[in-house]
Structure 1
Amino acid sequence: MEITAFEEFKLNRQLLSAVAEAGYEQPTPIQQKAIPLVMAGHDVLGIAQTGTGKTAAYVLPLLMKIKYAQGNTARALILAPTRELVMQIDAAITELGKYTDIRHVALYGGLGPKTQIETLQKGIDIIVATPGRFNDLYLKGEIPVKQLNTMVLDEADKMMDMGFMPQIRRILEVIPVKRQNLLFSATFPEKVERLSHEFLEFPTRIEVTPQASTADMVNQIVYEVPNLKTKINLLVHLLSDTERFLRVIIFVRSKETAENVFKYLERKIIEEGKIRIIHANKGQNTRINSMEAFREGAVRVLVATDVAARGIDVEEVSHVINFDVPIIYEDYVHRIGRTGRANRTGEAITFVTIAEEYHLKKIEKIIRMTVPRQPIPDEVIQTETPFDESQAMLREVDSQKKKEDPTFKGAFHEKKNPLAAAAKARAGSSAARTGSPAKRGTSGSPRKSAPSKAKTSNARRKR
């Protein structure tokens, strides 16, 4: 039977009041399936894309289980891969637990641990942490773990991508074996499946959408672009439409590209103060302030790398623009999951060069759909690709083909070395030793080279 109201979960009055004030009208599919199971004490494996309400799906039953502040040591631990996501989960606990006295703390790197240690020493019920900071403070003797009876791994796929597995295993070695385990992930690749076998005990699997599916509320399109400069020109053209592109996140692959895109847009078209940038090298306070300004609507455009993708929870993002195609393919799902949230429609636009087409094909296989292509608008100037950029893309395409077919010899190498290509095409080792490049006729096809004197004399002797 479908659950249509939060009252049907048998939550206490404090939680129901907070849910109502938070504007939650009816449970999402992941909440309908997960909340009763978590409250019943089951281990749960939840596969749900971002923007489906999965944070509340485990926070609400966790708050119901803990009920009130008790003792000095934590009873629940929630691990997340990034500081932004840790802060987001901690904010959800603050919102949903506002009428309880439950104490919680967010532990993450990027700033000194002094304040976090002081909060722990005052007594705590729930810890939300990145694996690295949790281990640091545990080794300092600041986190007693004997009372932990619930552990949540959120964004497990990102945990694996970021190399957190050794740190997670260290945590599993020191916390009590007898506990309830919850694992949530937007995608379910093989490495997460292995983790689930190691981490969960007879779990109930919940999959509210097909694995690695993309948000139904997101319209996805692709523009095939020849080079970086054309990407910039297309980006400027799109952002000039201020009526459609109201609140935009631009995802790029590297910090350097993020800085270049940010500076260009700030200089050319975006009103001062209406664009911000977040990446790993930005200070913690800068990232927090940028996110808050974007969430409040004071900032129209946010340029971000994937390290920040999982911690952006803003309901009214009109567009996500993938300036670069992600090379960790599951990140595509997380990027576009920033729009189309809370039953609102959104649009995800991806720019792809010939060197990125390979990665896009892999993404389309994961999401089980072909993203429709659109022609570049006539108003956008498509510049000629510089020689160095063209060569770099051809090398990349060569590398991709070799990855798929180890016997592939390298088309780029042959283009770059016409002597080698011609020698390969001609029979006989003597032709390969002549060393003279094939000349091209007016038709553009190589002329046959004249037979060598050695060949002619040999033929005469045979006669």
Structure 2
Amino acid sequence: MQNSFEDFKFNKQILNAITEAGYTVPTEIQQKAITPILAGQDVMGIAQTGTGKTAAFVLPMLMKLKYAQGNDARALILSPTRELAMQIEEHIRLFSQYLDLRTVVLYGGLGPKTQIENLEKGVDIIVATPGRFLDLYLEGHIPVKSLKFLVLDEADKMMDMGFISKIHRVLEVVPRKRQNLLFSATMSELVRKIAGDFLAFPTVIEVTEQATPAQTIQQVVYKVPNLKTKLNLVQHLLKDDEKFHRLIVFCKTRAVADNVFHFLERKYGAEQVRVIHANKGQNTRINSINAFKEGSIRILVATDVAARGLDVSNVSHVINFEVPIVIEDYVHRIGRTGRAFNVGDAITLANPAEEYYVRKIEKLIRQSIPVNELPDEVFVESTGFEERQAIAREIDSQKKKDNPDFKGAFHEKKYMLNGNGQPKSRSSKRDGGKRKSNSSKSGRTFRGK
């Protein structure tokens, strides 16, 4: 096993850049992937986020490309999101500061004019999202005949986002003779399929059990009856500003992310909190991420668009304000903390309907997550009618998923309303009343009383 980066026989320029970046010991994925990549093999790496996989493919690629050559790209790295594409480009810049290699990053969300100008100046490495790469290729701005490397990063996320047809289109246009690298945090059927279409006799590297969170992350769940109580709990936790010094709060939807952001902004001031999601302009997102990295803001509220590839050191806590429905995203979210051998905390707030997904997450990560009692200081709000109905409906749909014969309290005829918006049948009213009392009872038991 290589215990230092010198053992890989990197040149002096790369070794100096590695030292200046503060990297001392190769991580497990780096130890296992760099040598076969340097040897020209196709590699499939299964590695969770935060294990150092970007450096595992960037370093040997830089070593093999060595210096600027011609005008056309020799390496193409595909990434599912613009945030991750920018992150990869940042790594390349960091490690190639003493090389004269030229990198261009391509992504949608802004006009292509500057990106096209950068390509025309000459390029060695392209980092791109699949859609923007294909658009510029089809317009004739990207000659591909010189490509020697093709990397798919976060392949599982690309499949989840429906990029499979675009990936196949890319595979049709790039030269047959090339080295292929595929990295993924999980090994789904679609990832297996694309790996079969894409890799020739690959070296398979799996550095941890599939979808296992880093050992350095402390995980905990709080069972919380509703959204308002979740806000009260977050406010209570953040009183310890020394411990909670840099945190990401993850939400499922833009609407909830905006609500949480406005709540925290009122409590802690606009200079301490930012929000990023798909509705935010590209520059706003970049500025927010940079401010968070530099430590000038304490809290970043985000949807899952930011869960991948957000490489910020010393994130003390990740708070899952809502439990992700795509359970693999849990691993990516909590991977924002505990990075590169640091310790971190992941706190999940689950309402009664979200406990179902917590159980699924525990099955996926093959460990149970400890449940903490709600602190006595946290005021437990009563659950409003609409939220209570939504939770009950979601629990019904979960039961139907697990048992198709289950007839829930919310099956169709009970939704029939009269002109005043009231339920038509008396049984439906009675049912609503029962459900209310059950729900408030369960609200009282949340603190284990």
**Quick one: distance in 2 between partners of 1:157 and 1:289?**
27
Cα-to-partner distance string for 1:358-381 (whole Å, 9 max, x where unaligned): 111111111111111000000000
Q: Residue type matched to 1:248 in 2?
A: L
Cα-to-partner distance string for 1:278-322 (whole Å, 9 max, x where unaligned): 000111111111011100000000000001111311011000000
Tell me the equivalent position of 1:263.
Answer: 262
Tell me the equivalent position of 2:440.
Answer: none
Cα-to-partner distance string for 1:321-362 (whole Å, 9 max, x where unaligned): 000101111110000000001211000000001111111111
Tell me the equivalent position of 2:43.
Answer: 44
Cα-to-partner distance string for 1:95-131 (whole Å, 9 max, x where unaligned): 1011111111110111111111111111111100000
Show structure 1 runs of 4+ deviating over 3 A: 411-417
In the alignment, structure 1 segments of 5+ residues that lack a partner are 418-433, 445-463
**Quick one: distance in 2 between partners of 1:334 and 1:133?**
24
**Quick one: distance in 2 between partners of 1:415 and 1:338?**
45
- Decide whether the 8 Å contact of 2:49 with 2:309 is kept in 1: no
**Quick one: distance in 2 between partners of 1:279 and 1:389?**
23
Q: Percent identity?
A: 64
Which residue of 320, 333, 349 maps to 2:347? 349
Cα-to-partner distance string for 1:390-428 (whole Å, 9 max, x where unaligned): 1111111111111111111114449969xxxxxxxxxxx
1:207 CA displacement: 0.6
DSSP 3-state at the match of 1:147: coil
Tell me the equivalent position of 2:100.
Answer: 101
Q: Residue type matched to 2:386 in 1?
A: D
Tell me the equivalent position of 2:443.
Answer: none
Measured on the aligned residues, the alpha-carbon RMSD in Å equals 2.0
**Quick one: distance in 2 between partners of 1:414 and 1:103?**
60
Q: Residue type matched to 1:148 in 2?
A: L
DSSP 3-state at the match of 2:404: coil
Tell me the equivalent position of 1:460.
Answer: none
**Quick one: distance in 1 between partners of 2:116 and 2:151?**
21
**Quick one: distance in 1 between partners of 2:270 and 2:76?**
41
Moved more, 188-197 or 205-214: 188-197
Cα–Cα, structure 1 residues 414 and 180, in superposed 2: closer, same or farther, change >3 Å?
Answer: closer
Tell me the equivalent position of 2:231.
Answer: 232
Tell me the equivalent position of 1:339.
Answer: 337
Q: In the TM superposition, what are the counterparts of 1:317-396 in structure 2 within 5 Å?
A: 317-396=315-394
**Quick one: distance in 2 between partners of 1:291 and 1:190?**
33
Q: Residue type matched to 1:287 in 2?
A: R
**Quick one: distance in 1 between partners of 2:234 and 2:367?**
25
Cα-to-partner distance string for 1:235-271 (whole Å, 9 max, x where unaligned): 111112111100010000011111111011111x213
DSSP 3-state at the match of 1:314: coil
Q: Residue type matched to 1:394 in 2?
A: A
TM-score by length of 1: 0.88
Tell me the equivalent position of 1:457.
Answer: none
DSSP 3-state at the match of 2:119: helix
Aligned residue pair count: 422
Tell me the equivalent position of 2:418.
Answer: none
**Quick one: distance in 2 between partners of 1:61 and 1:311?**
20
Cα-to-partner distance string for 1:6-49 (whole Å, 9 max, x where unaligned): 11101111111111111111111100000000000111010111
Q: In the TM superposition, what are the counterparts of 1:55-134 in structure 2 within 5 Å?
A: 55-134=54-133
Cα-to-partner distance string for 1:434-457 (whole Å, 9 max, x where unaligned): 99x89x9xxx9xxxxxxxxxxxxx
1:389 CA displacement: 1.2
Tell me the equivalent position of 2:199.
Answer: 200
Tell me the equivalent position of 1:287.
Answer: 285
DSSP 3-state at the match of 1:38: helix
Tell me the equivalent position of 1:174.
Answer: 173
In the alignment, structure 2 segments of 5+ residues that lack a partner are 416-426, 438-449
Tell me the equivalent position of 2:312.
Answer: 314
Cα–Cα, structure 1 residues 400 and 93, in superposed 2: closer, same or farther, change >3 Å?
Answer: same
